[in-house]
Amino acid sequence: MDAKTLILEGKTALGIEFGSTRIKGVLVDYDGHVLALGIHDWENKLVDGVWTYDLADAEAGLRSCYGSLRKDVEAKYGVTPSTFGAIGVSAMMHGYIPLDKNDKQVARFQTWRNTNTTQAADKLTELFGFNIPLRWSVAHLYQRMLDSESHVKDVASVFTLAAYMHYRLTGKKVIGIGDAAGMFPIDSETHDYDSDMAGKFRELTGVNIADVFPAVLVAGDDAGNLTPEGAALMDETGTLKPGVPMCPPEGDAGTGMVATNSVAPRTGNLSAGTSTFAMIVLERKLSKLHREIDMVTTPSGFPCAMSHANNGTSDLNAWVSLFSEFCGLMGVSADMGELYGKLYTHALTGDKDCGGLLAYGYYSGENVTFINEGRPVFARMPGSKFTLANFMRVNLYTSLGAVKLGMDILLKDEGVRLDMMMGHGGLFKTPLVMQKILAAAVNSPVTVMSTASEGGAWGIALLAAYLADGKKDGKLEDYLNGRVFVNLSGEAVNPDPEDVKGFEEFTRRYVAGLDIERAAISAMKW
């Protein structure tokens, strides 16, 4: 069928992802071809020391994003969608959205970016013998208990953003296993919250995780249907009909795995955006606990090791905006896409070690380096080679700086096997640049496909398509390999030994200079 007929007959899948700076909708056919896009920009804010979003803004952003997608469909195909084969919702992993028994929000939404949970994360890590990162939902819940916050007595349920928006659309308190792995440790055998650890948490706090956190589902499971209220919330025109099946809501880590076909053991991917994280699907358990490494799962439940950095491209974007402002001052009209492309490409002409320059794009605390606040810092020695190419190169390097430290633990210390590393996210839009830099960081071949910039929104659309039509092909990886990625290709870039050597030298300086970041935090209190 042609795209217009597929849309009219509802034989399409819709994915909507709530990213850090953009809510994005992607409409696909069941083979994953992109038919239409929708976009709504938004931004987190720091309120009373807490990184947050208003949930009302999330709902308004959902309507705006869907409206943008609907208009794209109408412009391209001359029809208005009224139903879909399936819908999926994804969002930034982790965080804390507490509701009372009447589903009223009782405390501010705390995002993954908050690192105000050190005491709770440390105690739970010791109790479980399992790394509990600062941003995980259970760390937030327990920290609120330790701090004796008044709202805790009213908490009846806790959600991630994806699970919350799914609940608003379906009335079902469920969550995809990949996103659930950012709430509480997962048992990959039972595909549920780890029962032994849940028992220890119940003994410690009196809280039964199964009563408070959403029920865990895996890819392909029935996660409910779009309710009349959900349809009205999404589509203000009233055209969208209720009843559409919905796949389990997932986190951006899980959708990134799907979008890069990195769901089988010994595959890996790196998502580069406001936060940056790299994941490798494991063949075996790690030899010991590492506080720098998250243990999560694929959307099908395979164990996966993640190196997650809270800070990615925010400071890099700020510098590019500064250069745009300078262009305007000089009377030059610079397209932002072209400006990014020229600056990124120019970075490759710089010194392999960035000429001795150093930068930390720490807008917030960074768990990999155990720093709980952030101050963006750029530093250089008097004899450093301060050129535009080196300046851009160091800012591209540092967007991977913390992630590399975690990847070094996996690849060098643990000897994890990696056959393929895929790159995706907006940072890979400029051809070859970040592909070469990532290859240098992990000393492994890196592939970027043409779909890389669609990112997690495409990934959650594929999970919806798997629910609607893909399960007949077998497991999720069978559907992806046999239908979605069979005609997609991307050229692998092998690491340049000189680039690898340069990135290692930058990493040495990055670790040695962390005291500069700590001093900036101590001194800059205004």
Q: Which DSSP symbol is given to 445?
A: -
Assess contact for 268 and 418: CB atoms under 8 A: yes
Q: What are the backbone dihedrals phi and psi of residue 525, each rounded to the nearest 5 degrees, phi first? A: -115, 5
Position 376 scores a pLDDT of: 97
Amino acid at 223: A
Query: Would you list the DSSP string of 198-241?
Result: HHHHHHHHS--HHHHSPEEE-TT----B--HHHHHHH-TTS-SP
Give the span between the Cα atoms of 106 and 103, in whole angstroms.
Answer: 9
CA proximity to 313, closest of 429, 226, 222, 211? 429
Counting beta carbons within 10 angstroms of the beta carbon of residue 236, is it exposed (0 to 12), middle (13 to 18) or buried (19 or more)? middle
pTM of the model: 0.82
Per-residue HEC secondary structure of 38-73 comes to EEEECCCEEECCEEECCHHHHHHHHHHHHHHHHHHH
Under CATH, what is the fold of the domain 3-260+459-463?
Nucleotidyltransferase; domain 5 (3.30.420)
Measure CA of the first residue to CA of the last residue in the chain; give whole Å.
Answer: 61
pLDDT digit string (tens) for 105-138? 999 999 988 889 999 999 999 999 999 999 899 9
Position 462 scores a pLDDT of: 97
Q: Which residue ranges in the chain fall short of pLDDT 70?
A: 450-454, 489
CA proximity to 405, closest of 284, 271, 277, 255? 277
Please name the residue that has the structure tokens 């589902």.
217
Position 264 scores a pLDDT of: 84
In the chain, count H helices and then E strands.
19, 22
Q: Do domains 3-260+459-463 and 261-448+496-526 have the same CATH topology?
A: yes
Position 451 scores a pLDDT of: 63
Task: For 261-448+496-526, give the CATH class.
Answer: alpha beta
Residues ≥6 apart with Cβ < 8 Å to 19: 91, 92, 252, 273, 274, 455, 456, 457
Position 453 scores a pLDDT of: 56
Is the Cα torsion angle 21, 25, 30, 36 positive or negative in sign? negative
In 373-436 the beta strands, taken as DSSP E runs, fall at: 377-379, 420-424
Position 452 scores a pLDDT of: 57
Domain boundaries, the chain: 3-260+459-463, 261-448+496-526
Residues ≥6 apart with Cβ < 8 Å to 69: 14, 25, 27, 36, 37, 38
Position 372 scores a pLDDT of: 86
Orientation of helix 388-398 relative to helix 497-512, angle to 10°: 70
Assess contact for 198 and 231: CB atoms under 8 A: no
According to DSSP, the residues that pair with 268 across neighbouring strands are 280, 421
